[in-house]
A and B are shown apart, each in its own frame.
Chain A
């Protein structure tokens, strides 16, 4: 049991390292409709779905710290947002039990939108003011859709590589340790 947990921590760290490299080298340079995907958020959602709320929240916290560091944003903002995302995605998994790739698409889209909404409120509080629906149309919805589209193949790839296992119809959330 202990070895399995250690193996998972190692996997998570490796996953985070690869995500940071891909985000800075590739993903940040691919812009669709003026927005870029957030690989770190996508991974937080996938970990939340695959491992439950506790691991989702812890992974989200670490990823958030890294996100704030690499993009030089106020330290703690994304840590807070990603903790909420990881935790509540895990809670969702525990409530509904099974998740397929369509659900990954929808959950990632909703999480991305919610995360941007919280970040937007934070930005609004500290400085830049913008018309709400302009930001929703130009930034939040396109990025949420983009994140959701990217999340599906990433999730499928990670499941195929057995890095993560998302509960299927035969597995219950309880078996995976969801809240």
Chain B
């Protein structure tokens, strides 16, 4: 009798393993609209109100914790801000010079005057209601979805609570990778699967900013012949069609070169502190504005997330997928 019991347990165990593997296989093989994904989406939709309530309930506690932590590091913060202010005053003087120069150049080149974001851009403010549970992926969930006009591949920007009137703390967060009626998932630029085409202000060096599992941002594919100084501001280049141009991303933290590589590898310190993001803004850019950037032939900015890791509602345009594939093979 005990022998039968053991056999029964082993049989159940093997059946469960086979069931798990079958689910895995079906999940991988079926399309985004398949039944398994539909069930998952229904489950996520059911839980999204719970996450919204959780976010609201946790807010006072998070605020309290942030307040205590801020108080604790107030002195250190003051010193850091004083140093930052000094640096920014210098930057501001330089920027004024550049702005005047830009005005002249703008007149000469008949460029259309535009702000940081393309003209006609609409902003949808959203609250962060969930975050990725592991470092393998870096994403946030927001409380706005298709009902608010959110669509896949829209760029998302944010400001950390400590953001001042300066550029510090404000910048690119990521892009929408899956969307539901009242929530959406945003792939952060620190995600290992993310890549963003960027430019360094000053030398105008172009490259691609990639994330990593450790959360470190690295700018790759920067021509090694271009001189890049630390502290230079990095912005999106607008190539690829997902991220509009001139959105601040971060500053050059460290510049690395290897004799065997044709490119510099630049460590980037992001403007946004992703650990304390609470609100973000989704950019709804007019199609015409995006069309300008996609018309260029420079390689590829958008990340392609594997369906398995981000949920299969993720989609990117075929152009983006193709260019990213090309890039990957170049890296290898």
Contacts and interface: CB of A to CB of B under 8 A. Distances in A.
| A and B together in one complex | yes
Interface of A: 20-21, 24-26, 28-29, 31, 34-36, 38, 53-54, 57-58, 60-61, 64-65, 68-77, 79-80, 83-84, 87, 116, 119-120, 123, 126-131, 134-135, 138-139, 143, 177, 179
B12 A54 contact: yes
Interface of B: 5-6, 8-9, 12-13, 16-17, 19-28, 36, 39-40, 43-44, 47, 50-51, 53-55, 57-58, 62, 130-131, 133-137, 178, 185, 191-193, 212-214, 275, 305-306, 308-311
B117 to A, nearest CB: 29
Nearest to A128: B192
A34 B214 CA distance: 10
B306 A127 contact: yes
Nearest to B59: A29
A70 B16 contact: no
A174 B135 CA distance: 40
Contacts of A126: 306, 308-309
25 contacts: A24-B50, A25-B50, A25-B58, A28-B130, A28-B133, A29-B62, A35-B134, A53-B9, A54-B8, A54-B9, A58-B12, A58-B16, A69-B40, A73-B309, A74-B309, A76-B27, A83-B17, A128-B191, A128-B193, A128-B309, A129-B192, A130-B212, A134-B214, A139-B135, A139-B136
A128 B190 CA distance: 12
A57 B57 CA distance: 34
Nearest to B51: A24
B309 A123 contact: yes
Give the secondary structure class of A's interface: helix
A79 B13 CA distance: 12
Given A34-B135, A74-B27, A138 B214 contact: yes
A24 B54 contact: yes
A87 B55 CA distance: 35
Give the secondary structure class of B's interface: helix
B214 A127 contact: no
A47 B153 CA distance: 42
B44 A75 contact: no
A61 B135 CA distance: 24
Contacts of B39: 69, 75
